[in-house]
Amino acid sequence: MNVFLWVLAGLLAALFLAAGTPKLLQSKEKVIEATGTWAVDYPPVAIKAIGLLEILGGVGLVLPSAVDIAPGLVPVAATGLGIVMAGAVVVHGRRGEGRSVVVNVLLLALAAVVAWGRFGPYAF
């Protein structure tokens, strides 16, 4: 199970780094083109904040345990990403973007598995 949690955390980290980097570095218009119209309703600073949270969460899923400095931050990062995904589910649900809701629910569930495993029976 430990290997499974490492693989899952690594996969989630890669996904969140890939999703967060454009939100942080690109203009609002490019984010709208790339990810859909949800960003129309938000100011650029909010989009950049979401991107930063996704990047920090992605790094937090792997780096603390990989360097053995504060590995207890891994489940905290997973929980934080779960909260971000819960917000994304609400936003996309209100906009009627069913496919995005499904993807965000899946990411929420995977983050919850990492949080459960690292807070609970497979803590570092």
| Residue 104 placed within a domain | yes
The confidence score (pLDDT) of residue 124 equals 75
Q: Is the pLDDT of residue 39 over 90?
A: yes
80, part of any domain: yes
| Within a domain: 50 | yes
Print the domain residue range for 13: 2-119
Q: What is the pLDDT of residues 57-105, one digit of tens each?
A: 999 999 999 999 999 999 999 999 999 999 999 999 999 999 999 999 9
- Position 31 in a domain: yes
> With 80 as the cut, is the pLDDT of residue 3 above it?
yes
Q: What is the pLDDT at residue 97?
A: 94
Number of domains in the chain: 1
pTM beyond 0.85: yes
- DSSP string of 2-39, one letter each residue: HHHHHHHHHHHHHHHHHHHHHHHHS-HHHHHHHH-GGG
